[in-house]
């Protein structure tokens, strides 16, 4: 079944052997090692290699849901009609066998669950429903460590920042979030969301940046990130990690 960016584009992961390029071989040809495709997401965005006890895994994000993008609102509705996610989300992939990668978990928000389509499709006002391609989809994720990570902080566009406990890659769970304010009709010429909306009412800020974990000298734990309307922001954890990671 066709899915993804257009009605004929497949979405997912392709692993290539680039030895010919690295060794500066004439007329290099990357060789296919393995692949994994899925229909419950679109516009593959980011891959982050991590290891658990020395075993390789990949954190992968999709920038949109399963529907085509010619009309964002129609795409979301089509995905829901097919029983698929209207918004993209992060997932964790086991690369123990690079020729046969397999998804072991999905970091799906409630808004991405097709069972909740009726609750969230109406969040986008008619006047601007096709000005927001991404909605509540994922974009970039940052683990607290690339070796045996404990936490993962992800930007989920209109859903703000989402922090997951990923100590067990098979059973991740959301443990914290921060959703910045909407700037509505405030004039912000340097904001891409302001320009995408043509200055119309924005009911969410779009958070699509990488996120940085920062521990301050006083022991506070912060996240540094950027919103397209709000600019650079710092969010503070209100609980110590020892309580979040129980």
Q: CA 113, CA 83: separation in Å to the nearest integer?
A: 9
pLDDT given for residue 7 in this prediction: 41
Tell me 124's DSSP state: S
How many other β-carbons are positioned within 10 Å of the β-carbon of residue 219?
Answer: 7
- The pLDDT score that the predictor gives to residue 3 is 39
Quote the pLDDT of residue 50.
98
- Please write the tens of the pLDDT for every residue from 183-236: 999 999 999 999 999 999 999 999 999 999 999 999 999 999 999 999 999 999
**Counting Cβ atoms within 10 Å, is residue 95 exposed (0-12), middle (13-18) or buried (19+)?**
buried
Say what the pLDDT of residue 222 is.
Answer: 97
Over residues 154-173, mean pLDDT: 98
Q: Average pLDDT of the chain? A: 93
Mean pLDDT score, 33-44? 95
pLDDT digits 0-9 by tens, 22-37? 999 999 999 999 999 9
Q: How many angstroms separate the CA atoms of 218 and 115, rounded?
A: 44
Question: What pLDDT, on a 0 to 100 scale, did the predictor assign at position 9?
Answer: 59
pLDDT, one tens digit per residue, over 176-190 is: 999 999 999 999 999
Q: What is the pLDDT of residues 69-120, one digit of tens each?
A: 778 999 999 999 999 999 999 999 999 999 999 999 999 999 999 999 999 9
Interatomic CA distance for residues 131 and 244, integer angstroms: 36
């Amino acid at each position: 079944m066709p899915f993804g960016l257009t009605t004929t584009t497949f979405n997912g992961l392709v692993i290539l052997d680039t030895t010919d390029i690295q060794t500066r071989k004439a007329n290099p040809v990357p060789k296919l090692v393995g692949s994994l495709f899925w229909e419950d997401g679109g516009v593959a965005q980011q891959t982050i290699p991590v290891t658990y006890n020395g075993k390789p895994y990949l954190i992968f994000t999709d920038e949109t849901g399963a529907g085509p993008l010619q009309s964002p609102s129609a795409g979301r509705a089509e995905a829901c009609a097919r029983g698929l996610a209207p918004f993209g989300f992060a997932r964790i992939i086991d690369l123990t066998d690079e020729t046969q990668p397999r998804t072991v978990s999905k970091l799906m928000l409630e808004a991405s669950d097709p069972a909740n389509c009726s609750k969230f499709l109406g969040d986008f006002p008619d006047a601007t429903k096709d000005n927001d391609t991404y909605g509540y989809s994922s974009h970039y994720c940052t683990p607290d460590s690339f070796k045996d990570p404990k936490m993962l902080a992800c930007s989920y566009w209109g859903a703000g920042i989402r922090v997951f406990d990923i100590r067990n890659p098979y059973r991740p769970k959301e443990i914290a979030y921060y959703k910045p304010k909407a700037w509505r009709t405030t004039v912000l010429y340097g904001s891409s969301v302001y320009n995408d909306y043509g200055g119309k009412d924005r009911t969410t800020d779009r958070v699509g940046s990488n996120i940085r974990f920062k521990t301050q000298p006083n022991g506070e734990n912060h996240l540094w990130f950027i919103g397209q309307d709000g600019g650079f922001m710092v969010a503070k954890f209100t609980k110590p990690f020892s309580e979040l990671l129980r």
